[in-house]
Amino acid sequence: MKSDASLFQRRRPLTPAELDVIPWLKLLSLDERERAIEDLQVTEAQPGDYLCRTGRPVTYWFGAVDGLLKMSADNADGQTMTFTGIPPGGWFGEGTALKREIYRYNIQALRKSLVAGLHVDTFHWLLDHSIGFNRFVMNQLNERLGQFIAAREIDRMTNPNIRVARSLAALFNPVLYPGLGVVLRITQQELAYLVGLSRQRVNEALNTLAAHNAIRVEYGGLRVTDLQALRSHHF
């Protein structure tokens, strides 16, 4: 596992193609955009690397450019609760950045991932100057609250098919992950890590969801064919 320091040392400016997939940049004025791009950095996280750790002070607002991340926290009994996965296009930690407080969760790379960071000072500068950026952050906070409430409900579900369905639905949130579309590149083992089930049980659940025409399993990932079914049906 690489250290936090090496992640920081590997940072670099983003390429034009990487900047194009950042959804909130398009909402900024020219001056605001230039300020943000000047500050933005990206680093390559290896599987198992931590981008954020519980108890550490916030320094950056992060976004997944490529790869797959996991947001989780440990309770008082030492059990890990996974809140969500973060696919490409997802930005996270705005609540912590707003309050400039310590992290109350961990963010870990499940596979090799490109992660962008905007310094918390620039984050607050944009809040002070950009209406478009404020609206984006407010929408993020609203959706994230609903996502965390849903994560608590999923964690208590005993039906593995529904657990997998609801967890997949959370990954296809069009507000939090606008660039994802209808195809998610994810392995069954990665999904098992997110859902908290064995890979074999996840495989059985995916077959059930596919039989109900809610998803289609493709090489290297999943295609959602009925998002509403994932959100509401009892399989």
Q: How far is CA 93 from CA 1, 48, 73, 185, 212, in A?
A: 23, 19, 14, 23, 35
Taking residues 190-198, report their average pLDDT: 90
Taking residues 112-130, report their average pLDDT: 97
What does CATH list as the number for 4-152? 2.60.120.10
Tens digits of per-residue pLDDT, 28-64? 999 999 999 999 999 999 999 999 999 999 999 999 9
Tens digits of per-residue pLDDT, 133-150? 999 999 999 988 887 777
Identify the pLDDT of residue 6. Answer: 83
Where are the chain's structural domains? 4-152, 159-232
Identify the pLDDT of residue 5. Answer: 61
What does CATH list as the number for 159-232? 1.10.10.10
**Confidence class of residue 4 from pLDDT cuts 50, 70 and 90?**
low
CB 203 within 8 A of CB 188: yes
φ, ψ dihedrals at 65, nearest 5°: -85, -40
SS3 209: helix
User: Distance between CA 126 and CA 63 in Å, rounded?
Assistant: 16
Q: Give yes or no for residue 1 having a pLDDT over 60.
A: no
Domains 4-152 and 159-232 share a fold: no
b/e burial code for range 36-69 (CB count within 10 A of at least 16 → b)? bbebbbbbbbeeebbbbeeeeebebbbbbbbbbb
pTM of the shown model: 0.85
